A = this chain, B = another copy of it.
């Protein structure tokens, strides 16, 4: 029989994403609702090792649901990757009377939680917070929807100037291994072409696509490029390639960068965060451990950490096709 949970800790780890604060708030308030104590851990696993803790009551998370970033801060911890580091962390947890831990972060953060659970049989629960939407077990990670709106807003602005000057823009968006941001924001931004890590288009196709687009009467074009696109050229090399091989193009490059990680979370992400926090805390209360909470269809579901980490999200082929049709 699992130990009765009386005190739960929460931390954010890895790259931050919009909605993390809303998730912290939800964890804290759900604890308050169930008369549990809640402890905030600063700077992820680094703060866990150092015992950088702070008790949080319902009022302490007031006014953060609409704030980007994470009030608990985030960090990457080398020490937590060592047995010694994790032993220190476990000791701090025990000393502070903590019975369960909610980790808000990406797959690296979940790996840490899983090992902690394996080594010390410590109850852990994960909330997927990353803008990349690259985690199996949830159709939407926390921050993905907000990042999409940020990217689309930037594309809209760039299109204003692109079409005023009949220019071709390459716009780089986040996504080293996955093209979810590029694909969705590309469709929504009306991009003529979208280059993603999952698909090897080849430069020939890009060239052909641009030519066809020009022939169809388009005078400006937007090409969205995920950081990790398969063509294997970075975005400045793409520009050079077009400059060298195609005539009549005035090519510009824009790298959207870290702006994509910030900003006030969308309604979608705030609701998702609130639901995930409730589910995470109540799952710990039910004696569960080693799971990630996620959105599947319209419901909150649990996925074993192992599956969440090892799985690889697939690109939605229907979206790829829609993208092709829309650039007709």
Contact = CB atoms under 8 A, between A and B. Distances in A.
A169 B225 CA distance: 23
Interface in A11-61: 12, 15-16, 18, 20, 25-26, 29-30, 32-33, 58-59
Contact of A29 (B270, B278, B328): B328
Given A74-B164, A161-B261, 4 more contacts: A157-B261, A157-B262, A160-B262, A188-B274
Interface stretch (A94-102, A115-123, A252-260): A252-260
Main secondary structure of the interface of A (DSSP, over half): helix
A322 interface: yes
Given A258-B169, A278-B322, A318-B300, A160 B16 contact: yes
A230 interface: no
A20 B299 CA distance: 28
Interface in A228-268: 252-264, 266-268
Pairs of residues from A and B, 5 with the lowest C-beta to C-beta distance, nearest first = A157-B262, A160-B262, A68-B160, A69-B160, A188-B270
A25 B188 CA distance: 12
A187 interface: yes
Given A255-B257, A328-B58, A69 B300 contact: no
A190 interface: yes
